[in-house]
Amino acid sequence: MKKKKKNKMDDTSYDIEIKYSDDFLDEDDDNDDEFTNDEKRKPSIFRKIFFALILIIALTIIYSRYIATSGLTIKEYPIESDSITESINGFKIAHFSDVHYGRVIKLDELKNLVKEINLTKPDIVVFTGDLVDKTKKLSDNDINNIITELSKIDSKYGKYYVTGEHDVKLDKYYEIMDSAGFNNLDNKFDIIYKDINSSILITGLSVKPDESFIDKVINENKVNYKVNIMHYPDEFDNIKKYNYDLVLAGHSHNGQIALPVYGAVITPENAKEYYKPYYKIDNTLFYISSGVGTTKFDYRFLNKPSFNLYRILKK
């Protein structure tokens, strides 16, 4: 490129020629193109990551709400004991808890639960509270349906229950359970005799526990095996001194939502110390049901609805 410039001193003019390197121009153009392509690629990658995350979150929510809350798992636990006699050997206990009827559990789900329990042919059935949910109002038809279905549960030696904190809000709760053939063990006990030398003590605690009767019961009755059922898991420390063979509880739902490695995300009051499916404390085996239904929010994750089946075996 040429540019003409006039010298003011001598009125002479001269030409200045400025040359640009083709290589310099080409390098700048290449850098501009490269910069532009990078800028174009970055938003595209970010968009893909963003939409992938949105998709994962959406699928997780759908799974947790509609898939993880449906179906029913049977968790079977063999339990060996030196104190079991031959006549008690193989004794089966079916344990269900936390139905919260009216939320995700409705009539069809209750029918399936009853069917699955009966297929295990239990010797006794225990329920550890929260049949209903305090946020759901039940109609007379709902109540009649619950009684009808729970009445169909078969057991050789009896059906037992304790009360959960949601149950006390329903005036007809005790009527439902009694009409369905369940025996109330709120701060009470029963002894199951297989024969004159083979017996199982079963005690129960309500959500307003009174352990004062347990000392007398244990001291006055020689039994082969001791079981306690209760709703609140954290009540365990108050009965640890009685050296039960087996303790069963509900309430915690095992956290309802669990994450790999981390475990339960949220645990309710009265299940802060104990909320996992299983503990062994001294000589006591302590099992906590994950529950059949949901409470507070109708989601589950890595924690399917279930009931437990325990087989008491001679060691």
Distances (CA, A) of 109 to 41, 120, 145, 255: 51, 17, 12, 21
Percentage, residues of the chain above pLDDT 70? 86
- What phi and psi, each to the nearest 5 degrees, are found at residue 241? -65, -15
Which own/partner pairs from 40-49 qualify as long-range (CB within 8 Å, at least 24 positions apart)?
none
Q: Return d(Cα 224, Cα 247) in angstroms, integer.
A: 15
Contact 142, 100 (CB under 8 A): no
Q: What is the mean pLDDT of residues 296-312?
A: 94
- Which of 86, 71, 113 minimizes the C-alpha distance to 315? 86
pTM here?
0.84
Strand 306-314 with 73-81, pairing: parallel
Q: What is the mean pLDDT of residues 172-184?
A: 98
Q: What is the 3-state secondary structure (H, E, C) of 32-78?
A: HHHHHHHHHHHHHHHHHHHHHHHHHHHHHHHHHHHHCCCCCEEEEEE
Highest average pLDDT, of 29-33, 188-192, 262-266, comes from 188-192
Q: Which amino acid is at 133?
A: D
Percentage, residues of the chain above pLDDT 90? 74
- Which of 263, 292, 275, 191 minimizes the C-alpha distance to 234? 275
Q: Which residue has the higher pLDDT, 230 or 27?
A: 230
Q: Return d(Cα 187, Cα 185) in angstroms, integer.
A: 6
Query: pLDDT, tens digit, for every residue of 197-227?
Result: 999 999 999 999 999 999 999 999 999 999 9
pLDDT of residue 31: 52
pLDDT of residue 25: 46
Q: Model confidence at 156, in pLDDT bands (50, 70, 90)?
A: very high
Q: Which residue has the higher pLDDT, 19 or 141?
A: 141
- Which of 130, 139, 133 minimizes the C-alpha distance to 162? 130
The answer, yes or no, to whether residue 15 has pLDDT greater than 90, is no
Q: What is the mean pLDDT of the chain?
A: 89
pLDDT of residue 68: 82
pLDDT of residue 8: 46
Contact 97, 127 (CB under 8 A): yes
pLDDT of residue 4: 47
Q: Which residue has the higher pLDDT, 74 or 22?
A: 74
The answer, yes or no, to whether residue 30 has pLDDT greater than 60, is no
pLDDT of residue 258: 85
Highest average pLDDT, of 10-24, 61-75, 139-153, 258-272, comes from 139-153
pLDDT of residue 41: 58
